[in-house]
Structure formats: C-alpha cells, structure tokens
Amino acid sequence: MTSKKTYTRPDTVLAVAGRDPDNNFGIVNPPVYHASTILSPTMDKFENRIPFEGFGYGRNGTPTQKALEDAVAAIEGAHRSIAVQSGLAAVTGAIVGFLKTGDHMLVTDNAYGPARRFANTTLKGFGVETTYFDPMIGGEGLAKLMRPNTKVVYLEAPGSQTFEVQDVDAMAAVAKKGGATVIIDNTWATPLYFKPFEHGCDISVHAGTKYIVGHSDAMMGIISCATRAMFETAKTACQSFGFHAAPDDCYLALRGLRTMGVRLRHHEKSGLEIANWLKTRPEVDKVLHPGLPDCPGHENWKRQFKGASGLFSFTLRDGIKRPAVAAMLDGMDIFGMGASWGGYESLMIPAHPDQYRTAVPWPEGKQLLRVHIGLEDVEDLKTDLAEGFERLNRAHNA
Ligand SMILES: *Cc1c(COP(=O)(O)O)cnc(C)c1O
C-alpha cells in the first residue's frame, strides 16, 4: 500500500518516499518507464502543457525520474530535486542558471577538481570571473571577498580530498546578505548527514553516483532546490542543455537510496575506527577526517553535521617519497585504486591538491592518500593497510 502520512524520521522517509504501490499493481518499487515520445490525448493537452509538471517528453523526465526526485527532495527537505546524468552535470547545471556575463563567483579552494575546470575554462570564456577562497576563511573573511556582482557562492563541505569543513551557516548568511545564491556540493554528507536548507543554502548538488547509487554501477546527479523560483531557474538551465537522467539509472539510484541509512551508519563506524587506527601508525602524519580534531573545520562539522560518511584522507610523514607510496598502493588486496567512491567497496588513491589549489597552496612533497572505507569487515581492512605500510617501509628504507 501507498503510505498516506508524512514522516520525518530519516529511515522511514528513505523507505516510503517516492513510492506509489497502489497505482502500480501493488508492486513495491516504482517501475522503469523507458520513453522518448509521450502521447497527449487531445490537441488542447498537447498545446497547453503546464511548465515543469507532468510528463511531455522523455528528455524532460519520466515517472521513474520523478519518483527518485521526490524521494531525494523528501529526505533533503527540498522544494523539488532534479535528477541529471552525472554529478558533474548537477554541478554545472546548478551553477550556470544563476550567472551571466560580467558576474563574479566565489568558490571554496577545496572544491571538486572538474567543478574548478568548469569555472576556469567554460565560465571564464563566457565572461564570468571566479575567485577561490581559503575554505577556513569564515564568514568575515568571505564578506571581504564579496563584490556587488558576486552572484554565486559555491561551497563544498568538506572538500572530497582535503576535507576542510567550512562554516556553512556563517558563509551562507554573508552570501545571502550580498545577494548571491549559495550552492553547496553535499555529496560527502549525503542528504542524511547534512541538511543544506537548514543552514542557509539555496541549492544542494550531489554526485548521486556515490552514496545514493551506492553500488559503483551507475552515474547520477541530483540538484535539490530550496524554493520554487530556484527550481525553475535550475530546471530551465538543465532543459536548455538537454540534461537527462536515464530511466534504468534512476531506478538504480532509487534502489540504492532505500538502504543508504544503514549503509552510511556502517561506513561511518568503520571509517572512524580506521581513522583512529591510522592515527596510531608511525607512518601517518595527519588524519583528515571531519570527525577527528586534526581536520580543519572539525568544530564546524560537530555543530552543523549529523554524521560522517566513509571518505577521508591522511598525510604521510615528511620524507616519504612516491616509490614508497607506490609500493603500498600497488600491492593492496582489498582496497582498490579507482576514482569515485560511495560504493560498498573500499578504495585508496593518491591525491594531488598541489596540482590545483590556488588560494591555499598544498605543502610541496606532502603525500596525501584518500581512502573510502567500504562495508568489508574492519579487521580485514586494517590487515590490508598494515601490510601496505610494511611494503611502504621496506621501499622507504631500501
Ligand atoms: C564524484 C564527484 C562529483 C561528480 O560526480 P560524477 O557523477 O562523477 O560526475 C562531484 N562532486 C564531488 C564531491 C564528487 O566526489
């Protein structure tokens, strides 16, 4: 049966949102509608469609896509959400609607690399200027960078390689006062562990590819909007570009979303356990996990977030060089080396913020490893890491 009440407790919302079994033969999950052409019964209905409502053409949305959008909007507290083909499409589609030639955008220096590339190439070419700011600059620091033409303030808390957690409350308030739209990349925390609209953000973007899909088998982007006006701006931009979320991928994302609560609790517990274990290792310098005091912005995380996911980084003691790191990474048994994260499996990659950071340059030669702690048994993960450190030490001392 279709639930009639409105629920607020996250696990229940995850289970009931975006489902309508009463209208689907009692089948639990929304069906996958494959569609390009969608027929209208009358000429009047064909010519007088209500913008952004119903289903008129496959590219602009299907009931499968709408089910996913409704579910994410319910869990994040958005007016409406928009599903698009990838996380990066969510980032670019969300930003572009709020800017025009001559405008200025402020972007946190720890933002996702391809988002920076979009600003530095495409937006720059269209006459939009971008300034990067120190993620730890706070509200007062941000206020000094605001210009009359600053139309977007772009946050990512924490950034997905160096994990500084911005003071979102303070920064959003400053941005709003200056008339800018606040967009946050909320991929790390997911709609469960950070509530962007309770902290002054206007738009939240997700690489649904990560924890929402949760199984490393589909690409997905989500744009969640605080108000009807913001939704119309973002949806218009996405429609203009022809952005589209494919029905099978929407189905996979919706199926992943149902178990995101239990998965995240496991990622969080194991992630913190491994983070604390790494702190005891002599090879490790700092553990950049928002839940630990070493991480810049840990206090902001404590005050503004509801939990931690399974992605964090650690730096290695000074003097450890690339060949030693390669000896560790090349021999890992469980930890895979690959882009993306948020699936059930553990990953570890070298990260190179020195190649893109501008406002706060990364210390030269400082080795950074990013881990995603998956759902495997935590003791097996520790063994894999301990054996990796043995290889690292052997190569370092050779
Ligand atoms: C992966 C990622 C994206 C982009 O998502 P895709 O689905 O890979 O396009 C955006 N932001 C963050 C923080 C990410 O980790």
Q: pLDDT band at residue 233, thresholds of 50, 70 and 90?
A: very high
Q: What is the pLDDT of residues 298-323, one digit of tens each?
A: 999 999 999 999 999 999 999 999 99
Report which ligand 1 atom has the smallest distance to the Cα of 220: 7
Is residue 59 flagged as an active site residue?
Answer: yes
Q: Is 212 in the pocket of ligand 1 (CB under 6 A)?
A: no
Q: What is the pLDDT of residues 343-374, one digit of tens each?
A: 999 999 999 999 999 999 999 889 999 999 99
Q: What is the mean pLDDT of residues 143-156?
A: 98
For residues 386 and 370, what is the distance between their CA atoms, to the nearest angstrom?
A: 16
Q: Is 118 in the pocket of ligand 1 (CB under 6 A)?
A: no
Residue of the CA atom closest to atom 2 of ligand 1: 207
Q: Which of 7, 11, 20, 59 is catalytic?
A: 59
Q: pLDDT band at residue 243, thresholds of 50, 70 and 90?
A: very high
- Mutational test site, ligand 1, from 95, 156, 160, max ligand atoms within 8 Å of CB: 160
Q: What is the mean pLDDT of residues 132-156?
A: 98
For residue 2, the model assigns a pLDDT of 84
Exposure letters 273-293 (e unless 16+ CB within 10 A, then b)? ebbebbeeeebbbbbbbbbbe
pLDDT at 195 over 80: yes
Q: Is 87 in the pocket of ligand 1 (CB under 6 A)?
A: yes
Report which ligand 1 atom has the smallest distance to the Cα of 91: 10
pLDDT at 1 over 90: no
Q: pLDDT band at residue 75, thresholds of 50, 70 and 90?
A: very high
Report which ligand 1 atom has the smallest distance to the Cα of 339: 1
Q: What is the mean pLDDT of residues 277-293?
A: 98
Q: Which of 70, 185, 202, 249 is catalytic?
A: 185
In the reported structure, the alpha carbon of residue 309 is separated from the centroid of ligand 1 by a whole-number distance in angstroms of 15
Q: What is the pLDDT of residues 33-73, one digit of tens each?
A: 999 999 999 999 999 999 999 999 999 999 999 999 999 99
Q: What is the pLDDT of residues 80-127, one digit of tens each?
A: 999 999 999 999 999 999 999 999 999 999 999 999 999 999 999 999
